[in-house]
Amino acid sequence: MKKVIAVLALFLSSFSVIGADMSHGADNFFKSDKVTMQKVSFSNQYKMKVVGNLFIPKNLSGDVKYGAIVVGHPMGAVKEQSSNLYAAKLAEQGFVTLSLDLSFWGASEGQPRNAVLPDVYAEDFSAAVDFLGTRSFVDRNRIGVLGICGSGSFVISAAKIDPRMKAVATVSMYDMGAANRNALNHSQTLNQRKQIIADAAEQRYVEFTGGEMSYTGGTVHELKADTHPIQREFFDFYRTPRGEFTPEGSSPDLTTHPTLTSNVKFMNFYPFNDIETISPRPMLFIAGDVAHSREFSEEAYKLAAQPKELIIVPGAGHVDLYDRVNLIPFDKLTSFFRSSLK
């Protein structure tokens, strides 16, 4: 019986490589005929070029200044994965939106590629506000931020020290600090954490003396019979036509994988510290009821001050809220930003 189960699992794994689960309206590469999209770039405070896609409603009136929203992609992804979808859908509702590639990822500058530097990630959102707030058609007093997955923790980090961000929303948030220090459900021991740090420190000698760069984490490139369900969830998005996208000049082998030596920077990242100081600016946290990352949204909600709201989406997992338009509560996001940015 065990052999039969193993064979079946391998068969299903092979099938997953060929096809993608497009249920619940999965539409990562959604294109809207109601908005225009244009590539833009601007510098952050450290003179690094940040590249984004600006979405503008086609019925834009030259006499009106619009509310705007900056949208950040999942950790290890690029703007073409999930954030463009959210930006386009919200632009259809009358907002000017900007999806951006975080520094070191996608089309934005930063060396080495795939480096982790949370403070710079947060700075990119402030730089996006600089850009939007200087557009003639944007009301600089009505700019909000939306972070998906890891960007949820980055927008919180940014908003704590940038009061120009008038409303903060997160979807399927990962607290990238806690996730690396403790793993999910606090399943990582202190000794395991110390070993990760020690391995990264030793790798610094390798790279300093000209050795090959090493990468860590991210999504597996092949499914096996014993592949963890969470990895299968990410695989179905990042390694199939459902959401697979490799930026020009990059390698699919490196997609989602941060550098080993820089990833430990997350150990010093505490985005929820002082989260209550964002008040009275409103915060909205959205998570799936079966999402493995639900704990992070619940923790942020508990620590945040009013006004705040936690929305749990029935039947949704973590990656489901990247692109499954029939599950994503776009109506709630629209009403939240309309009321918060009025």
The answer, yes or no, to whether the previous bond of 112 is cis (omega within 30 of 0) is yes
- The percentage of the chain sitting over the pLDDT mark of 90, rounded to a whole number, equals 92
Locate the domains of the chain by residue range. 2-340
Do residues 91 and 57 touch, judged by C-beta distance below 8 A? yes
Of 127, 101, 148, 48, nearest to 255 by C-alpha is 101
3-class secondary-structure state, position 77: coil
| Cα gap 194→200, rounded to integer Å | 10
Confidence band, pLDDT 50/70/90 cuts, at residue 248: confident
Per residue in 291-335, pLDDT (tens digit) is 999 999 999 999 999 999 999 999 999 999 999 999 999 999 999
User: What span, in angstroms and rounded, lies between the C-alpha atoms of 101 and 79?
Assistant: 5
Q: Are strands 96-100 and 138-148 parallel, antiparallel or unpaired?
A: unpaired
pLDDT at residue 212 above 70?
A: yes
Please provide the average confidence, as pLDDT, over all residues in the chain.
Answer: 94
- Compute the residue count for the chain: 342
Residue-wise pLDDT tens digits, 1-52:
333 333 334 333 433 445 799 999 999 999 999 999 999 999 999 999 999 9
Dihedral of CA 221/177/175/96: which sign? negative
CB neighbours of residue 33 within 10 Å: 7
- Confidence (pLDDT) at 60: 83
Kind and range of the H or E run holding 311: strand 308-313
- Give the burial class of 336: count Cβ atoms within 10 A of its Cβ; 0-12 exposed, 13-18 middle, 19 or more buried: buried
In one-letter notation, the amino acid at residue 300 is A
Residue 163's CB is within 10 A of a number of other CB atoms, namely 10
The pLDDT value given to residue 4? 36
CA-based angle 204:210:213, to the nearest 5?
55
Backbone angles phi, psi at 82, to 5 degrees: 80, -50
| pLDDT at residue 237 in the model | 98
How far is it, in rounded angstroms, from Cα 140 to Cα 279?
Answer: 19
How much is the pTM? Answer: 0.94
Residue 264: per-residue pLDDT:
98
Sheet with 308-313, strands from edge to edge, namely: 35-43, 49-57, 96-100, 66-72, 138-148, 165-171, 283-288, 308-313
Architecture per CATH, 2-340: 3-Layer(aba) Sandwich (3.40)
Least confident of 61-65, 136-140, 226-230, 306-310: 61-65
Phi-psi region of 110 (alpha: psi -120 to 50; beta: other; left: phi over 0): left
Rounded to 10°, the helix 2-18/229-238 angle is 20
